[in-house]
Amino acid sequence: MLRTIGLMSGTSLDGVDAAYLETDGETIARLGPRLTLPYDPKLRRALRALLDRAETLRDDDPELLDAVKRLTDRHAEAVEALGLDADLIGFHGQTILHRPPVAGRNITPFTWQVGDAVSLARRTGMTVAYDFRSADVAAGGQGAPLVPVFHRALAAPLPKPLAILNLGGVGNVTWLGPDGEMLAFDTGPANGPLDDWARQHTGKDYDAAGKLALAGQADGAVLGRLMSHPYLTAPPPKSLDRLDFDRALKEAGAAELSAADGAATLCAFCAVCVAAAARLFPEPPLQWLVAGGGRRNPAIMKALAGALEEPVRPVEVAGWDGDALEAQAFGLLAARVARKLPITFPGTTGVPRPLVGGRILGSLL
């Protein structure tokens, strides 16, 4: 068993999650303390600006270098705040651009996660596993999602089929079959567009407790136009960049809605995307367990309950911590990298065969 600290900064850009666990990469011996360190508004704005410029951004851009330094420092502070010795850190960094392969489109696949693993290893004095996605994309995979193998380990005692839904900036789902099968892919937009909408209309970083959305009504015409997006019916493997639906939202007329109706429509669209994902499963799940910030939004959870036929519950009903799962996942993935075990699979990213990925800085000896 390795003592690991997993770190995750997701597409919501709200902060860094850190979680301790003990694992051999296949089973989980202990889930330990976890914490979240929010980003200050200046860093959050800087990261959001990088997303908008990522297509033309250079590696030596001064604003990028400054944001990466502050991002890495915040990750190191999270490790230090846990105050625990560990053998290994799983450092995902921050995705600022994700361009996976798409059938029928002549694009060069590319995924870009920023963060200074060398600086993190030096400051913490720990071995760091990082760069979890590049090898998968280079081998023809989507590079995402990465968490399914952790979901499989965590959910080992639960009845199957089971769907585990994570609602961050983008939604992703893992379907687990009774014989260890894994199918996983991004469902569509989740908190990302809603956070941007709340910031634009209220000046706040997100729609706290879904109050804005609950005060409005989903616009059927806008929702209908969004539901025609080809991503929703495309077969997996498939994954998204945080901004992939921005153009579709503009063309659907979302910007013309009131603040409350726009928020309600975005919540409804998140649920519609998940319902479309469910139609791609080999068989219906017995239940949906929901993680990520989206589970705290009553408007989203209400929309999911109305869109899905099976019970929809937060992951806490299974005894899990829905704010820690992705950070915990990168602790397990770090152990798999160290042990040279596959981290992506044909059913999760579409890679041709189970693939060992990631890189290691330091020694576990």
Cα dihedral value 291, 89, 54, 195, nearest 10 = 30
- Was 13 annotated as part of a binding site? yes
- Was 210 annotated as part of a binding site? no
> Quick one: which of 37, 122, 41 has its CA closest to 74?
37
- Was 16 annotated as part of a binding site? yes
- Was 258 annotated as part of a binding site? no
Q: How far apart are CA 195 and CA 36, in angstroms?
A: 18
How distant is the alpha carbon of residue 323 from its chain centre?
A: 12
Q: How far apart are CA 126 and CA 187, in angstroms?
A: 35
> Quick one: which of 322, 333, 330 has its CA closest to 94?
330
Q: Are strands 182-189 and 170-176 parallel, antiparallel or unpaired?
A: antiparallel
- Was 14 annotated as part of a binding site? yes
| Length of the chain in terms of residues written | 365
Count of C-beta atoms within a 10 Å radius of residue 118: 12
- Was 356 annotated as part of a binding site? no
Which ranges of 83-219 would DSSP assign to H, the alpha helix?
117-124, 134-138, 148-154, 191-202, 211-214
**What's the 3-state SS for 275-292?**
HHHHCCCCCCCCCEEEEC
Letter string b/e over residues 173-198, b meaning 16 or more CB atoms within 10 A of that residue's CB: bbbbbeeeebbbbbbbbbbbbbbbbb
- Was 17 annotated as part of a binding site? yes
In the annotated binding site, the residues are 10-17
In the annotated binding site for ATP, the residues are 10-17
